[in-house]
């Protein structure tokens, strides 16, 4: 960028002149170049009138390849890359330069590979291969370049030989997005910092603008940021981890600025020492009783991302809408179907021929090859958001990442517990249950990567997704015969309501959902009873039906229809409102009374459940639109919509009524005798992986373990 380059030259020259300094004969050392370009390249052949710029480029290459850089300081640019364009089997050169350059792609023919692999390989080995897309960001490339240049790349000596590798001393200090502090994709970066540096200081400035616990950012962005100061004093034993210290600065933007302004020395901040594990977060380990309990992710080892559809039109609140959308798609000329379909850069395209969700050995016909008016396939219930059951076209051709293992293990006996693990939980339950296959962002509408735990690994419900030997071990101490269902009910009684998050608000900053395992059989029995009732409610009476009541339905609540919501097409609701004084929920022409404020305000980590449910059913439904098919919506408000809304209000009302008993139980469990995590068997690595179709004779191919960003409609 020639503008900033020219201004920096001017201002630095003026500053030095004003102080009586003599300018270096070779210039200030400010270069116009692409940092991420290969240091081994050659300056471009430019016209004579651009010779000065060519000279800058040449000198920049010499600095990158031969000079010692002691300090690398700055605020690198941010730019996430969703995909790259391929030319045959190769990435186009233009895309390489825009997606990390030499850092990500390396030099052609270089067998050592790109330097970014030092961040990526440890993540793959640790089982976080599905997270690697989070590394494809400019600020990550600049982090890797700075660590290579300052700590690893030896400069040239006057003799023309390179200095001894590993003797570099220097400092890298960046303010960037804070994802590397604990994100799974960044375990390799954290390992490199610990291996290359003697000391690392983290100043966490927060600034989450989209998540569950929002606070002010020091910049006009919504991504949390942190300052990192990484020091290497010279030669270092790579097997001795760096000392990592952490502090956080809280408050409004102005308060954060004020606190930073008075920092003149490291001693002006209160530091906490972080764990020494190579992949451990760059923040202090939790202390206290909570962190002695086992992780839910250890008790239920298979942790799975829900489905990422990648387009809105295959999801609807009314199955008839899906049939109409499919009909319009298949009646269109094959050449016009791509616009209706909405191709994804990295997901499904109109010409794809995947295997069916239900298995088989024959690929499906591509959507753009289907006969005009081809029949619509299966439509299934879908856990779109917490407490929001919608419908989906159960067709692998229209779903970017269908999560084949989920379909492989789905049945009318399956149960899914969803939660949030990429951010601290906000107010509301720590987990929400569903009987239907979950969306990627079921729990709160975004940040849903690997956020669901199926109770079983198979459709027959014969292989529980529970740590082998654990139920027998715990049951022996409780003198109870534990089943997968009773275990799920116990867990849900503790985490399926707002009391858990209220109790452990600070502990949950570490994004670790831990379960207190009581050794008091009476507490256990009480938890199973309450948890079963809560699961019955939250699955819309599809699971955990009371014994002897197979036809049991969601119990009615206080909410009643005072004025019917019109089913005339002209009256289809375009808005809704809640009137607290009269406890009335108005939807279009209708009115539902006796809706408590607590029911209206019920939330799941920021997702306002009733408001969200209604928003997806308005005439102009919420969420981004990307296809003309999105404009096909219900023609009228149906009685089924009203019935489902009343069920939702009743579920939330009964949940809130159970809250005192659930909170009292949680208190009793936590103050009583508990089984520590140290008594729990270790988790076999194989059980962390999803079941494969080959285990059941299907043909899904490799399991999809990818994680995704927030949904596009959010």
- pTM of this prediction? 0.82
Strand partners, 230: 172, 200
DSSP-derived secondary structure for 483-496: -HHHHHHHHHHHHS
392 forms beta bridges with 315, 380
Look up residue 345 and give its two tokens.
């850069």
- For residue 159, what pLDDT band results from cuts at 50, 70 and 90? confident
pLDDT at 701 over 50: no
Flag whether pLDDT at 268 surpasses 70.
Answer: yes
Helices (DSSP H) in 625-638: which residue ranges?
A: none
Q: CA-to-CA distance for 134 and 422, rounded, in angstroms? A: 12
pLDDT for position 146 = 97
Q: Which residue has the higher pLDDT, 64 or 701?
A: 64
CA distances from 336 to 43, 324, 340, 349, 350 (A): 46, 17, 7, 13, 10
In the predicted structure, residue 577 carries a pLDDT above the cut 90: yes
| Cα–Cα dist 185/144, whole Å | 14
- pLDDT for the residue 625: 85
DSSP bridge partners of 162? 156
Lowest mean pLDDT among 191-200, 206-215, 287-296, 472-481: 206-215
Dihedral in degrees, nearest 10, Cα atoms 173, 177, 180, 181: 80
CA distance linking residue 176 with residue 78, whole number of Å: 8
Q: Give the pLDDT confidence score for residue 378 in this predicted structure.
A: 93
- 173 pLDDT more than 60: yes
Mean pLDDT of 540-559: 93
- Per-residue pLDDT averaged across 29-43, rounded? 86
Question: What's the pLDDT at 626?
Answer: 85
Percent of the chain residues topping a pLDDT of 90: 72
Instruction: Summarize pLDDT for 596-628 with one digit per residue, the tens.
Output: 999 999 999 999 999 999 999 999 888 888 899
The pLDDT confidence band at residue 242, using thresholds 50, 70 and 90, is: very high
**25 vs 170, which has greater pLDDT?**
170
| Predicted pLDDT at 91 | 58
Q: What are phi and psi of 658, to 5 degrees?
A: -80, -10
Q: What is the pLDDT of residue 589?
A: 95
To the nearest 10°, the Cα dihedral for 197, 203, 209, 212?
90
Tokens at 246, concatenated: 């952490």
| pLDDT reported for residue 708 | 40
Tens digits of per-residue pLDDT, 58-72? Answer: 888 989 999 999 999
Question: Would you place residue 698 in the very low, low, confident or very high pLDDT band (cuts 50, 70, 90)?
Answer: very low
pLDDT value of position 248 = 94
Pairing of strands 170-177, 71-74: parallel
What six digits make up the tokens of 702? Answer: 């490799």
pLDDT, residue 705, reads 38
Average pLDDT over residues 147-159: 90
Query: The sheet that has 576-579: what strands, in order across it?
Result: 560-563, 590-593, 584-587, 576-579
pLDDT score of 168 more than 50: yes
Q: How far apart are CA 235 and CA 412, in angstroms?
A: 61
The backbone torsions φ and ψ at residue 61, rounded to the nearest 5 degrees and listed phi first, read: -60, -35
Q: Which residue has the higher pLDDT, 156 or 254?
A: 254
pLDDT category at 93 given cuts 50, 70, 90 is low
Burial class (CB in 10 A: 0-12, 13-18, 19+), 119: buried
Q: Kindly indicate the confidence band of residue 711, based on its pLDDT and cuts at 50, 70 and 90.
A: very low
Q: Is the CB of residue 491 less than 8 Å from the CB of residue 483? A: no
Report the distance separating Cα 465 and Cα 50, nearest Å.
65
Structure confidence at residue 712 as a pLDDT band (50, 70, 90): very low
- pLDDT, residue 694, reads 54
Strand locations in 482-531, DSSP E?
A: 517-518
**Percent composition of the chain: helix, strand, coil (DSSP 3-state, to 5):** 35, 15, 50
| Distance from C-alpha of 257 to C-alpha of 40, rounded to nearest angstrom | 41
Q: What is the mean pLDDT of the chain?
A: 91
Q: What is the pLDDT of residue 94?
A: 59
Question: DSSP character for 72?
Answer: E
Per-residue pLDDT at 645: 98
Least confident of 208-222, 261-275, 493-507: 208-222
Q: What is the DSSP letter of 304?
A: B
Number of other residues whose CB lies within 10 A of the CB of residue 569: 11
Of 358-362, 549-553, 585-589, 706-710, minimum mean pLDDT range: 706-710
pLDDT of 706 above 60:
no
Tokens of 569: 């097409």
Highest mean pLDDT among 6-15, 200-209, 526-535: 526-535
Alpha carbon distance 605, 252 (integer Å): 21
* Whether the Cβ atoms of residue 191 and residue 119 lie closer than 8 Å to each other: no
Q: What's the pLDDT score for residue 442?
A: 94
In the block, tokens 């009203």 appear at 642
Q: Which DSSP symbol is given to 155?
A: P
Domain ranges of the chain: 1-30, 33-67, 68-285, 292-714
What are the Cα distances from residue 593, in Å, to 205, 302, 562, 575, 588? 45, 43, 6, 17, 14
Q: What whole-number distance in Å separates Cα of residue 145 and Cα of residue 163?
A: 19
Which of the two residues, 3 and 294, has the higher pLDDT score? 294
Structure tokens at 296: 């839910």
Q: Identify which of 494, 542, 522 has the alpha carbon closest to the alpha carbon of residue 658.
A: 494
Distance of CA 96 to the CA centre of its chain: 26
pLDDT score at 325: 97
Of the two residues 69 and 57, the one the predictor is more confident about is 69
Q: Show the 3-state SS of 85-151.
A: CEECCEECHHHHHHCCHHHHHCCCCCCCCCCCHHHHHHHHHCCCHHHHHHHCEHHHHHHHHHHHHHH
Instruction: Report the distance separating Cα 265 and Cα 230, nearest Å.
Output: 15
Cβ neighbors of 479 (< 8 A, separation 6 or more) are: 521
């Amino acid at each position: 960028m020639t503008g900033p380059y020219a201004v920096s030259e001017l201002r630095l020259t003026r500053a030095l002149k004003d102080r009586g300094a003599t300018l270096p004969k070779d210039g200030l050392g400010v270069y116009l170049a692409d940092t991420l370009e290969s240091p081994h390249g050659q300056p471009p052949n430019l016209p004579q009138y651009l010779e000065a710029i060519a000279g800058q480029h040449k000198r920049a290459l010499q600095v990158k390849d031969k000079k010692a850089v002691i300090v690398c300081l700055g605020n690198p640019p941010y730019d996430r890359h969703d995909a790259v364009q391929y030319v045959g089997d190769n990435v186009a050169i233009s895309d390489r330069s825009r997606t990390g350059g030499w850092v990500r792609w390396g030099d052609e023919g270089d067998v050592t590979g790109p330097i970014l692999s030092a961040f990526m390989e440890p993540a793959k080995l640790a089982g976080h291969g599905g997270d690697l897309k989070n590394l494809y960001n400019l600020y990550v490339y600049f982090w890797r370049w700075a660590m290579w240049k300052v700590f690893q790349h030896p400069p040239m000596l006057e003799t023309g030989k390179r200095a001894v590798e590993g003797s570099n001393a220097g400092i890298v200090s960046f303010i960037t997005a804070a994802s590397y502090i604990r994100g799974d994709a960044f375990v390799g970066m954290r390992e490199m910092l610990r291996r290359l540096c003697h000391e690392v200081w983290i100043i966490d400035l927060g600034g989450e603008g989209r998540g569950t616990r929002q606070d002010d950012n020091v910049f006009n962005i919504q991504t949390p940021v942190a300052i990192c100061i990484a020091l290497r004093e010279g030669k270092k034993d790579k097997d001795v981890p760096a000392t990592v210290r952490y502090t956080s600065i809280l408050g409004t933007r102005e308060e954060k600025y004020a606190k930073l302004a008075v920092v003149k020395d490291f001693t002006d901040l209160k530091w906490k020492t972080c764990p020494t594990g190579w992949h451990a977060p760059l923040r202090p380990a939790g202390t206290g009783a909570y962190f002695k309990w086992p992780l839910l992710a250890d008790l239920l080892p298979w942790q799975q991302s829900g489905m990422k559809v990648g387009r809105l039109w295959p999801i609807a609140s009314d199955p008839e809408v899906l049939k109409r959308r499919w009909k319009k798609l298949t009646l269109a000329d094959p050449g016009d179907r791509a616009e209706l379909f909405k191709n994804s850069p990295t997901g499904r395209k109109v010409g794809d021929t995947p295997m069916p969700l239900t298995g088989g050995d024959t690929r499906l016909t591509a959507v753009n090859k289907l006969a005009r008016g081809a029949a619509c396939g299966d439509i299934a219930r879908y856990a779109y958001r917490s407490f929001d059951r919608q419908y989906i076209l159960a067709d692998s051709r229209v779903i970017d990442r269908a999560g084949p293992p989920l379909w492989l293990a789905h049945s009318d006996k399956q149960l899914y517990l969803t939660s949030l693990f990429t951010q601290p939980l906000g107010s509301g339950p720590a987990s929400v249950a569903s009987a239907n296959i979950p969306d990627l962002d079921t729990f709160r509408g975004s940040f849903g990567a690997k956020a669901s735990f199926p109770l079983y690994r198979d459709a027959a419900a014969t292989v529980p997704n529970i740590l082998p030997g654990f139920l027998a071990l715990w049951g022996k101490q409780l003198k109870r015969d534990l089943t997968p269902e009773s275990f799920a009910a116990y867990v849900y009684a503790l985490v399926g309501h707002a009391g858990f998050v209220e109790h452990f608000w600070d502990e949950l900053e570490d994004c670790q959902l831990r379960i207190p395992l009581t050794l008091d059989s009476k507490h256990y029995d009480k938890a199973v009873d309450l948890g079963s009732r809560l699961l019955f409610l939250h699955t819309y009476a599809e699971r955990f039906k009371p014994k002897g009541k197979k036809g049991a339905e969601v119990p009615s609540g206080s909410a009643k229809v005072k004025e019917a919501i019109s089913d005339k097409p002209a009256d289809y609701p375009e808005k809704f409102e809640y009137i607290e004084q009269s406890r009335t929920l108005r939807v279009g022409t209708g009115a539902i009374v006796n809706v408590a404020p607590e029911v209206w305000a019920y939330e799941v980590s920021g997702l306002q459940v009733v408001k969200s449910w209604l928003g997806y059913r308005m005439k102009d439904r919420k969420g981004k639109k990307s296809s003309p098919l999105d404009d096909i919506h219900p023609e009228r408000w149906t009685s089924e919509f009203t019935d489902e809304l009343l069920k939702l209000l009743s579920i939330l009302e009964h949940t809130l009524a159970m809250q005192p008993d659930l909170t009292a139980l949680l208190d009793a469990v936590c103050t009583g005798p508990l089984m520590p995590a140290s008594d729990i068997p270790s988790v076999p690595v194989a059980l962390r992986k999803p079941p494969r179709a080959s285990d059941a004779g299907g043909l899904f191919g490799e399991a999809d373990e990818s994680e995704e960003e927030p949904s596009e409609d959010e």
